[in-house]
Amino acid sequence: MDASFPVPRPTPLSAPFWEGTRAGELRLQQCDDCGGWRWTPQILCTHCHSPRFAWQAASGRGKVYSFTTVHRPPTPAFTAPYVVAVVELDEGPLMLTQIVEVPPEEIAVEMRVKVKLTALDEAITLYPFTADREHIA
Amino acid sequence: MNGARDIAIAGIGVTVQSRGSGRSAISLLMESIGLALDDAGLSMRDVDGYVGFTFPAGNGQGMNDANVARQFGQPMTLVAETSGAQAVLLAGAAIRAGLAEVVVIPAGGSQSAGAEMATYTRPTYEFTEWTGSMTPAQFALIARRHMHEFGTTSEQLAAVAATAHRHGRLNPEAVAFGRPALDADAILNARMIADPFTQPMCSLVNDGASCIVVTSAERARDCRHAPVWVLGGAFETRSNSYFEAPSLGMMESRPRMIDGFARAGVVHDDVDIVMCYDHFVHGPIIQFETLGFCAPGEGGDYVPVAMQLDGAHPGSLDGGNLAYSHNGVPYNFKPIEIVRQFRGDTPDLCPGWREGIHTYDRNLCRKVRDPRLAIGCAPMTDGRHGFAILAKD
């Protein structure tokens, strides 16, 4: 890892998410009252405004909402080309992420993807996505 | 605002837009305020309202309303934080409510120092930064989704960029003035930044500032130039750009945007100029669709033709963010270019433009013929989108 890589810094609100990825799960907030899922981490349910929620393991699966191959990285911490994507999780929320281990020319909108948890260091495990071969018809 | 001609843009001011100016943002902003007030025939003594993203923080006292009042040496009765078309509407509402009488809307910045990529293109959020996303990638994601849902093509995106660059090459004040001409093919074949965006489909990075003065009809009638009326508009904020995943969610605001025309008593066909927010080339296409100038999905075909100087709704008339200026906070330029088109204050290659002699030869002239009604858009993202309707008598 490049020394200048922007390592995520958890906040009190987001810490359970990062504990989840470290434990091998993609955990999202799920509302105790309406059952709605939300991403990014927020105080209230974005569907019904309830403050009651639990961090629950999501399926870690979804489909590509959109993607772009970045050829000109923002800082030297990144090596181009790489693929930034929005994944529509099976639970509903859209999640900004990367798609890895798939040649860019093979990526398509609506393609099935699954999370590929990747340890960055002892504290942070990132959550890029990759092709979900089991779901390719 | 309901189409009444009781709120006006009375003055505009634009500093030099350039790369690596070596000047501070505060210096550029205060210059733009002075230029706009002078244009209006007003002075800093007349100002009681301030709306801007970039507050005069260059004195080390931070960005707050008290510091704004300190800059003017008199009480401010309105201080708020937004820009461009949205700020014009907010200022108008505040003036109508009696909260202020003369509102300045400065905007701009100084960050390039000759850099290729501005610092504001690197969101520091824990769920954004690690992905290596930056501004072009954020908006490329929106463009790609639009291509998927509606069949919009890279060629159509390039055609939008080509028009903006062509207008910019006619504008001696544009940062890209004097650069080699770019047609759609050259734009498609340029260096890829974040697909589908090549470099000429992305905003410039430069320094500069601009300012708009909004006041009541009564005050505006005593000002130096004919008032430009603020007839109305519409705004929506849905989500936090750069933090939330980019999406086409802003297109769901179409009914509210169309209602903004109805409330102002304006029909789309009567609009002479549509200054879209053109930070990336998908912007005008999505805005034409969302504002109701064409149906969702029709923009790819419609916009590259409509936005031409003699098209149905000409736009990017100064070169836009692609070729004129992106100084960090360039939202003001959309209303400002409309005011300049209304006045005929359109620097270009026509030898007599200063004397009001516009040739309308499109190799020289970027003046729209006799515009009277225009739309100035704000950034069209989930974070902030909408428009103001401006008119001249």
Cα separations in angstroms, B369 against A51, B225, B314, B389: 57, 19, 10, 18
Q: Is the pLDDT of residue B126 over 70?
A: yes
Quick one: CA dihedral B132, B329, B79, B34, positive or negative? positive
Query: Looking at residue B116, what is its pLDDT?
Result: 61
For residue B260, pLDDT over 80 is answered with yes
Nearest CB partner across the interface for B145, out of A71, A77, A109: A109
CB atoms within 10 A of CB B210: 30
Give the A-side interface with B, CB within 8 Å.
5-11, 14, 40, 65-75, 77-78, 82, 84-86, 94-98, 109-110, 120, 126
Structure tokens at B84: 């461009």
**Of A72, A86, A126, which has the smallest distance from its Cβ to B141's Cβ?**
A86
Q: For residue A70, what are the β-bridge partners?
A: A82, B194
Does B191 reach chain A within 8 Å, measured CB to CB? yes
First vs last C-alpha separation in chain B: 17
Rounded CA separation A86/A106 (Å): 16
Contact between chains at B148 and A84 (C-beta distance less than 8 A):
no
**Residues in Cβ contact with B31 at an 8 Å cutoff, skipping those fewer than 6 apart:** B13, B15, B209
Tell me the β-bridge partners of B389. B232, B375
pLDDT of residue B64: 81
B94-98, B208-212, B228-232, B378-382: lowest mean pLDDT where?
B378-382
In angstroms, the separation between the Cα of residue B196 and the nearest Cα of chain A is 7
Residue B127: which of A65, A69, A96 has the nearest Cβ? Answer: A96
Distance between CA B370 and CA B326 in Å, rounded?
27
- Which is the CATH superfamily of the domain at B7-113+205-391? Thiolase/Chalcone synthase (3.40.47.10)
Query: Quick one: average pLDDT of B364-386?
Result: 90
Task: Check residue B7 and report its DSSP letter.
Answer: E
Q: What is the pLDDT of residue B305?
A: 96
**Which H or E run contains B282?**
helix B282-290
Tell me the average pLDDT across B279-296: 96
Per-residue pLDDT at B118 exceeds 90: no
State residue B56's pLDDT score: 63
pLDDT of the residue at B188: 98
Q: Which regions of B225-318 does DSSP assign to beta strands (E)?
A: 228-236, 273-275
Q: What does pTM read for this prediction?
A: 0.96
| Tokens (6 digits) for A57 | 């393991």
Does residue B58 surpass a pLDDT of 80? no
Dihedral of alpha carbons A44, A48, A52, A53, sign = negative
Q: Which of A10, A68, A94 sits opposite B247 (nearest CB)?
A: A94
Sheet hosting strand B78-80, strand order edge to edge:
B78-80, B49-51, B102-109, B208-216, B7-14, B228-236, B385-391, B373-377, B273-275
Q: What DSSP line would sit under chain A, residue for residue?
A: --TT-------TTTHHHHHHHHTT--EEEEETTT--EESS--SS-TTT--S-EEEEE---EEEEEEEEEESS-SSTTS-SSEEEEEEEETTS-EEEEEE-SS-GGG--TT-EEEE--EE-SSS-EE--EEE-GGG--
> What band does B282 get if pLDDT is binned at 50, 70 and 90?
very high
**Cα(B332)–Cα(B27) distance, integer angstroms:** 17
User: CA–CA distance from A63 to each of A88, A93, A99, A100, B220 (Å)?
Assistant: 5, 11, 11, 14, 55
Cis ω on the peptide bond leading into residue A103 (within 30° of 0)?
no
Kindly state whether B131 is in contact with chain A, defined as any CB-CB distance less than 8 angstroms. Answer: yes
ipTM of this predicted structure: 0.96
Mutation choice for A interface testing from B126, B244, B247, B252 by most A CBs within 10 A: B126
**Per-residue model confidence (pLDDT) at position B112:** 56
DSSP letters along B25-79, please?
HHHHHHHHHHHHHHHHT--GGG--EEE-SS---TTTT-SSHHHHHHHHTS--SEE
Pair B1, B96: CB distance under 8 Å: yes
What is the pLDDT, as a whole number, of residue A134? 72
Residue pair B254/B248 in contact by the 8 Å Cβ criterion: no
Give the H/E segment covering residue B322. Answer: helix B320-323
Q: Binning pLDDT at 50, 70 and 90, where does residue B37 land? A: very high
- For residue B1, pLDDT beyond 60: no
**What amino acid is encoded at A32 in this protein?**
D
Express each pLDDT in A23-56 by its tens digit.
Answer: 999 999 999 999 999 999 999 999 999 999 999 9
The minimum CA-CA distance between A96 and chain B, rounded to whole Å, is 5
SS3 B108: strand
pLDDT of A74 above 90: no
**pLDDT score of B378:** 86
Distant-in-sequence contacts of A22-26, Cβ < 8 A, 24+ apart: A22/A119, A22/A123, A22/A124, A22/A125, A24/A117, A25/A57, A25/A58, A25/A60, A26/A57, A26/A58, A26/A59, A26/A60, A26/A115, A26/A117, A26/A127
Mean pLDDT of B285-297: 97
Domain residue ranges of chain A, discontinuous segments joined by +: 15-135
- Indicate if the pLDDT at residue A137 is higher than 50: no
Q: In chain B, whose CA is at the least distance from the CA of A46?
A: B239
- Asked whether the beta carbons of residue A94 and residue B145 sit closer than 8 angstroms, the reply is no
Residue B2 CB contacts under 8 Å (≥ 6 apart), including other chains: B232, B263, B264, B265
- Read off the pLDDT of each residue in B153-169 and give the average, rounded to a whole number: 98
B130 and A8: CB-CB below 8 Å?
yes
Higher per-residue confidence, A2 vs B139? B139
**Helix/strand/coil for B276:** coil
d(CA A67, CA A86): 6
Mean pLDDT of chain B: 93
pLDDT, residue B111, reads 73
Which one is predicted more confidently, A17 or B70? A17
Could you tell me which of B230, B260, B255 has the C-alpha nearest to residue B93?
B230
What are the structural domain ranges in chain B?
Answer: 7-113+205-391
- Give the mean model confidence (pLDDT) for residues B68-77: 92
